[in-house]
Amino acid sequence: MTIRKILLPLSGGDDDVRLGTVALQLAESFGAQVEFLHPAIDPRDAVAFVGEGMTAAMIEQIVNAAEHEGASRAARARALYDRLVRDYGAGANTAYVERSGPEDDVVAEAGRLADLIVVARPSAEDGPTPVVQACLKDTGRPVLIIPPKTTDISFGKRAVIAWNGSIEAGRALKGAMPFLARAEHVEVLSVKEGTPEGPSGGDVVDYLRLCGITASSRDLPLSGGHAGQAVMAAIGNCDLLVMGAYSRSHMRRLIFGGVTAEVLARAEMPVLMSH
């Protein structure tokens, strides 16, 4: 897989500048384009939230307020894009796109035509935002989740693949190949829980060897019945984690714990996920 298009959804928050600089560096490194996406507010969506008994004048006031807020957000997003390109992306291949609609729907649709989606790691307290959920569940594309302390692309030298043999893990592996090809050290971690499903960690090592990538594999015992904790305890000083997202059924997540949620809450390194 070659990275040709990187999607960066603009949230309007403080993280946009940091994520923008990371995305621009990645684009320069891979010879890709960065598409800065601003999901614009459609004032008509505000009407869906009005309650019974609202007068026509009150509805009009709500729509006008939504239009004003939408125009203000659009102006801030465009100014941010212009600043990033001026200060960090001179000569970079970039595009600014504005689409109206619910934010998570807009991002999900745009993400299906991206080779990589860059988002901020959600806080442990709030959990994944609707946009992060949409990127992971509704695009089928690799999502690079950037933790708060990451400001450049010095990561990826020591990569760990959290492998469980699932379709999602296979998609994440495929999406991570451009990064793995550049890594100095690659390790495949597999947690033993019940009957193994799908290819083993050793099979992954054999596949990577065919791709010109040297890797090692290691099986992990289940730690306290929670695969996510076992993975986080074993990754050591890796600076890129690759794994499938939401590869378990709801019942298995209740029994064994949610690995995706555990990693999203605790990972201090960039994580490349795919569903």
Question: In this predicted model, what pLDDT tens digit does every residue of 87-132 receive, in sequence order?
Answer: 887 778 999 999 998 999 999 999 999 999 999 998 878 888 899 9
Residue 100: enclosing H or E segment and its boundaries? Answer: strand 94-100
In angstroms, what CA-CA distances link 210 with 9, 181, 272? 35, 12, 22
pLDDT at residue 88, rounded to an integer: 84
Mean pLDDT of the chain: 87
Rounded Cα gap, residues 224 and 37, in angstroms: 42
- Which residues fall within 8 angstroms of residue 79, CB to CB, at 6 or more apart? none
Rounded Cα gap, residues 178 and 183, in angstroms: 9
Task: Give the residue carrying structure tokens 């690995």.
Answer: 259
158-274: CATH homologous superfamily? HUPs (3.40.50.620)
Token code pair at residue 82? 């212009």
CATH class (in words) of the domain with range 5-59+67-146: alpha beta
SS3 120: strand
In angstroms, what CA-CA distances link 59 with 44, 67, 69, 73? 10, 12, 15, 21
Parts of the chain belonging to CATH 3.40.50.620 = 5-59+67-146, 158-274
pLDDT 10s digit of each residue in the chain, 275 long? Answer: 789 999 999 988 788 999 999 999 999 999 999 999 999 877 666 555 555 667 777 666 766 776 777 788 888 899 999 999 998 877 789 999 999 989 999 999 999 999 999 999 988 788 888 999 999 999 999 999 999 989 999 999 999 999 999 999 999 999 999 999 999 999 999 987 655 678 999 999 999 999 999 999 999 887 665 777 888 888 889 999 999 998 754 434 433 346 788 888 888 999 999 99
pLDDT at residue 138, rounded to an integer: 95
